[in-house]
Amino acid sequence: MFWTVARFEAWYQLRNVYVLAWAFLSFAVTLGIFVFEPMRIDPGVSLTMTSPTYLLGVYIGIAVSLIVPMTPILGGAVVRDLQLGSGELLRATLITRTGYVFGRFIGAFLPIVLIFLLHIPLIWLACEWPGLPPNKFPDIKLAALLQPAAIAASTLVIIACILFAVGTLARSTLVSYIIVALLLGAWIFVLSKLRFGGYEDMRNALDWTGFSSVFIANEARSIFERNTELLAISREFYYNRAGWIGIGASSLFVAWFLQGIRGGLWGNRQVDSATGSIAPEVGPLKLYRNQIDAAAFRTQIWARLTLDLKRIVVSRSFALLMLGGMYLCWVIANNTGSFGDRGIEPVTRLLVNELHDASVFIIFLTSSIFASELVWGDTDRRIHELVDVTPTNTWVYVAPKLFVICAASLSFILVGSVVGMIAQAVKGYPLFEVGKIAVWLWVPMLFTVFQFSVAALLCHSITPNKVWGWVLYLALTAGLSTLAANLGFDHVLIEYGVSELPPLSDFNGLAHFWKGFAWLHMHWTLVALFLLLCTILMWRRGVEQRLKPRFLALKGNLRSANGLALAAFCLASLGSGGWIFYNTNIVNTYVTDTGYNQWAAEVERTVAPLEVLPGPTIVALKLTVDIRPKKVTATAKGTVTLENRTTRPLTQFIFNHSDLTLVSASMPGAALKEEVKNAYVDVWTFTKPLQPGERRDLSFETSMDGHSVASRYPPTSIVSNGTFIESTDLVPRVRIDREAWLTDPEERKKYGLPAKRPLPAAMMDENFYAPGSGWIDADITVSTDVGQIPVAPGILVRETIKDGRVTRQFRPPVKINNLFAIQSANYVVKRERIQLDNGPVELEIYHLPGFTRNLATIMTAMKSSLKTFSELYGPYPFGVLRIVQTPSYGAEDIAAQAYAGMVPFYEDGGWLQIIDETAYSNNLSETVAHEVAHMWWGHQIVPSMRPGAKVLTEGLAEMTSWLALEDLFPAELIISYVNEAEDAYENKRGKETEGEPILTMMEGEEYLAYGKAPVALYILRNEIGPEAFDAALRSFIKRYAFADRPYPNLEDLLVALKAAAKPEVHALIDQFFTDRVRWRTEISSLDATKPNKSGSVVSVTAGAWTESLDELGMPYASAGIGRGRIQLFHSVPCDKEQSKSWTKFMTAEDTKSGIGECWASEEVATFTVDFKRTLGRFQFDIPSAKWVETVQIGQAQRFRISTISDSQSRSETFFPPHDFLPSQKPK
């Protein structure tokens, strides 16, 4: 019977046009992705499209997209019998409940499986398609085709079971779709939000596709491995599959069970108790005449409102969405307290930003779902004819529906906010700042909800069915702006509604940004009101489906009150739109994404030839900046001193004002020769050539205005409290810079630019931070309103207060880079002083009142860093070190920056961080140490623009910051930072699509600058010897500190290191900097006979070798590491001292989870072996009666490379781990 049911169901579904259409679409898209170049989703330069990694993505995509047809098919497989009434007929046959439920499931699922399986030969065919580029499509292997398909198929099975159960439980396709939306939303959330912060386990568990486990297991693999090897499958993947398949199977059982209870097909039937009673005596009927007046209107409105409210609020979809929304808000609110992998205080500003993202998603979902339900509800229930003939004004239909949709969306936001505040409280922030949430979130969301609800109502009221309503809504709210953006017409007046929040900061709250957003809200609310009137005038009554009669009705009603209101709102929205357009496009220049790219390409073409033009060098700057916080403006006046440092007279120079608003510029003996149109770059001529060594002053005046009308992403430099201006926004430059140039290879290709434009030789030796500038003598005066403190680099030499203005003049005691920041806010200052060998240094922390949580930590880290670096690398030259709290506008992922003697520290990364007192270290101290290290590496040593420059700045700053922390934290635990950097490098290099450059050719690759370079330098420090290494760096600084051209480069550093290193270390230096070498070690087995009096025999299969890789990660050579050691251990419980030492660093969570149990490894024996290029089998006689449980292999005293425990093999790649590396400081 089971097969009979299944066969029929499969036959039935295979005739379903919807299934066939989706199959056809899926086949066409899949084929197109491979063979049709414009549709191709290119995985990057190096990853092939026949690799298992890429194919897994394709299969997962297919499986997830198949959810769309699966939802109605599986959800309706059983329910349709209940709805159509055919259930009674089926129950009268010999079909059993089990046969029926499982037969229906298998039968409905078979067509989906068939469609999915047909993709496999289709992909094979696509990969063999003639004419495809062979580098992208090398021969496909059967296993590579099948393994990812099997992974994705498991997802298909799981989701099918769940959908079947949901459909059976909910008996509503709409609810099934909501469940699907929630599942997909949760999946996207899991993939995007749980990537960091120690949520990997949760991510592995919650990802119902299993993709995360596979992703993590393969994350550190090279492109070569990804292209050639099958996907690595971890235990976590199997656990994940087992768990989710269990959930799926349970769902099926639930579906089976539900069919046996009341309401199910096999349950007891509900008896219709509504029988007629004997008619009472009937007298003459008394009928009243109705009166359509204001009271009637109110009655009608109330009647519809209560009905629509009940319809939504008591619906299963509302309950599901509410639960889903609450869950979503809970998760994101919990996620609020993190900055990367750091725990930070979940302040309301952060919560609001997170809630806002969720709210926009919920608004879109609820408005779309409930509008369709309310607009089509009467028609679906076939009661629309009775309702529509009643003498009701159309407002009676529309107004309550609009209210209910808005109320539903707002209730989600309100409940989500409450959930968020509870989560805040649970995380230790129990302030319940309702006022802030109301002003920052609820008020703007009120307008957003209205705008989107009206759009949803309109779309469903003018389309012939729900599906078209959804399509139109999607097109209006997302499609239109996307299309416009693709066509190069993106504009705030095209993107419907306002779904963004103004930038928020603890400095200012909404600051002045709310004004621009108010304009946007006003405009789109007026548009929404116009659309609302259109909806009313074109409302569908009765059975009318045609648009024409409704347009005629609208036209005919133009003279009614509604028509007049329509005209009024039309004019008002045109007026507000016109005002916005006037400001964005006429008063200012509106730059679309496409327009910007076109402009950038044009600028590059125009100004690239000017890069070779020799020019003068800026050697001094005198700057006066007038900040007006209340007016949100700033003006700057100043002079830059230009010097001819070439050997020939200069007749012209570049005047670059591309990042600033130039008011005026003048220079004696020079004049504007040519304006490079649209590039904001001019060519000036010296009327009298500037002779070698000659200096002249260029005066300039610039301005900044922080106002913006109707920008979704307003400028944030100047605010009423927390102004942060970079020097490039105020001071003109004298070289071409490449800031605006396109970097994406595809974009560059699109606009006819070469893939890369090599830096001309003339620019190679320029200052890395400020091309065209040397080390400058700076004199900076900043004024601001009284109550605020202006901050700039240098020693404070003068402070005056006059006419409500405070003015401070700063003069650095040494030359600085022509790259600095000026800040102003209502700061309080914590001051201390540290006495270093070469004199005292003033320590100042500028922070907002109340942000005192981490002052001690920051101050301690400042002192420790200054002490360490001045001892190791020479004196601190700036006299004062300031750390300045800065709003996080646009810098949400950045912790801090470093300028000469001054470190702007963004509010999220530093001031909110929760320092766990029980933890052995904290990232905040590491950040402080890194930025202080830049006072040597970046602000004493500045590299030239040659490749590898960032090794001298970020690489050295990162590595030396670890040394500074050794004073603060246990030395052996500093290694965790090294491992983090190494992990970051390993993870990122696997995603490198352009090929991994060697360090000496590195340009902007941050994973090399912050990952590989510091780890390499750290290892070299130990290889060369800490004292010799640090002495080499000290000499390096001594030679190049504040030295003008030629600036040092990486080659110079390597020369210095090699000079300090023994010859046998030179090869290692080269391997790190001029080669790509990966250490591969593996222990695949450990076998030991049972120990007895005579000991035991232990066999170990292990290997240790190196692989040289090309830029795509492909090994081209390998070699055994030669003599190495194998150490055998057994485990013993820790003694008291060990336990005490160990638990000192354990958190409560560690102890709870058992990590806190302390076991020590006791060495049993060590053997020296010769490691070849491949795994070798080694056998040892152990004269000890101890179980050998752990093996370590390594090379001499240098590396512990790999371990094995409980026969679980573990391998390490690329860098030798550093756990055993001595970490010493010179005495």
- Positions that interact with other proteins (CB under 8 A): 272-280, 282-293, 295-296, 298-300, 302-304, 307, 311, 381-383, 385-393, 396, 541-546, 549, 556
Q: Taking the complex as a whole, how short is the minimal distance between the CB of residue 466 and other proteins, in angstroms?
A: 17
Nearer to other proteins, 142 or 386 (CB): 386
Nearer to other proteins, 26 or 172 (CB): 172
Give the separation between CA 525 and CA 516, rounded to whole angstroms: 14
Q: Taking the complex as a whole, how short is the minimal distance between the CB of residue 284 and other proteins, in angstroms?
A: 7
Nearer to other proteins, 300 or 927 (CB): 300
Residue 588 contacts by C-beta under 8 Å, 6 or more apart in sequence?
Answer: none
Find the helix or strand (DSSP H, E) in which 622 lies.
Answer: strand 617-628
- DSSP character string of 81-135: HHHHTTHHHHHTSS--HHHHHHHHHHHHHHHHHHHHHHHHHHHHHHHT-TT--TT
Q: Taking the complex as a whole, how short is the minimal distance between the CB of residue 201 and other proteins, in angstroms?
A: 45
Q: Taking the complex as a whole, how short is the minimal distance between the CB of residue 171 and other proteins, in angstroms?
A: 12
Nearer to other proteins, 192 or 277 (CB): 277
Cα–Cα distances in Å, from 267 out to 81, 90, 95, 270, 296? 14, 13, 14, 9, 46
Give the separation between CA 174 and CA 181, rounded to whole angstroms: 10
DSSP state of 393: -
Q: Taking the complex as a whole, how short is the minimal distance between the CB of residue 399 and other proteins, in angstroms?
A: 14
Sign of CA dihedral 1112, 1115, 1121, 1126: positive
Q: Taking the complex as a whole, how short is the minimal distance between the CB of residue 400 and other proteins, in angstroms?
A: 12
Alpha helices for 899-955 (secondary structure H): 923-933, 949-950
Q: Taking the complex as a whole, how short is the minimal distance between the CB of residue 554 and other proteins, in angstroms?
A: 13
Q: Taking the complex as a whole, how short is the minimal distance between the CB of residue 74 and other proteins, in angstroms?
A: 24
Cβ–Cβ under 8 Å, residues 267 and 100: no
Residue 869 burial by CB count (10 A; 0-12/13-18/19+): exposed, middle or buried?
buried
Nearer to other proteins, 38 or 283 (CB): 283
Q: Taking the complex as a whole, how short is the minimal distance between the CB of residue 559 and other proteins, in angstroms?
A: 13
Query: Cα 775–777–780 angle (5° rounding)?
Result: 125
Nearer to other proteins, 298 or 756 (CB): 298
Q: Taking the complex as a whole, how short is the minimal distance between the CB of residue 459 and other proteins, in angstroms?
A: 20
Backbone Cα Rg of the chain? 35
Q: Which residue has the tokens 């780890």?
A: 1015
Backbone angles phi, psi at 1002, to 5 degrees: -65, 140
Nearer to other proteins, 301 or 956 (CB): 301
Nearer to other proteins, 142 or 285 (CB): 285
Nearer to other proteins, 287 or 755 (CB): 287
Nearest Cα neighbor of 915 from 865, 861, 843, 979 is: 861
Nearest Cα neighbor of 75 from 180, 219, 208, 193 is: 180
Residue 1110 contacts by C-beta under 8 Å, 6 or more apart in sequence?
Answer: 1076, 1116
- How many CB atoms are closer than 10 A to CB 298? 11
Residue 76 burial by CB count (10 A; 0-12/13-18/19+): exposed, middle or buried?
buried
Q: Taking the complex as a whole, how short is the minimal distance between the CB of residue 537 and other proteins, in angstroms?
A: 13
Give the separation between CA 140 and CA 93, rounded to whole angstroms: 51
Nearer to other proteins, 133 or 276 (CB): 276
Nearer to other proteins, 172 or 1223 (CB): 172
Q: Taking the complex as a whole, how short is the minimal distance between the CB of residue 250 and other proteins, in angstroms?
A: 30
Nearer to other proteins, 171 or 950 (CB): 171
Give the separation between CA 874 and CA 863, rounded to whole angstroms: 15
Sign of CA dihedral 1086, 1089, 1093, 1094: negative
Nearer to other proteins, 277 or 1168 (CB): 277
Q: Taking the complex as a whole, how short is the minimal distance between the CB of residue 390 and other proteins, in angstroms?
A: 4
DSSP state of 946: S
Q: Which residue has the tokens 């086949």?
A: 27
Q: Give me the residues paired with residue 1092 across strands.
A: 1095
Q: Taking the complex as a whole, how short is the minimal distance between the CB of residue 88 and other proteins, in angstroms?
A: 16
Q: Taking the complex as a whole, how short is the minimal distance between the CB of residue 383 and other proteins, in angstroms?
A: 5
DSSP state of 955: I
Nearer to other proteins, 306 or 691 (CB): 306
Nearer to other proteins, 307 or 418 (CB): 307
- How many CB atoms are closer than 10 A to CB 62? 24
Q: Taking the complex as a whole, how short is the minimal distance between the CB of residue 83 and other proteins, in angstroms?
A: 13
Alpha helices for 259-346 (secondary structure H): 294-313, 316-336
Q: Taking the complex as a whole, how short is the minimal distance between the CB of residue 461 and other proteins, in angstroms?
A: 16
Q: Taking the complex as a whole, how short is the minimal distance between the CB of residue 553 and other proteins, in angstroms?
A: 8
Q: Give me the residues paired with residue 700 across strands.
A: 638, 665
Nearer to other proteins, 288 or 1227 (CB): 288
Find the helix or strand (DSSP H, E) in which 670 lies.
Answer: strand 670-676
Counting every residue written for the chain, the total comes to 1227
CA dihedral 773, 775, 779, 784 (to 10 degrees): 70
Query: Cα 551–554–555 angle (5° rounding)?
Result: 90
Nearer to other proteins, 172 or 807 (CB): 172
Nearer to other proteins, 396 or 511 (CB): 396
Cα–Cα distances in Å, from 1210 out to 441, 1123, 1203, 1213? 49, 21, 6, 10
Cα–Cα distances in Å, from 571 out to 537, 565, 576? 17, 10, 9
Cα–Cα distances in Å, from 391 out to 381, 491, 536, 539, 550? 20, 43, 15, 14, 18
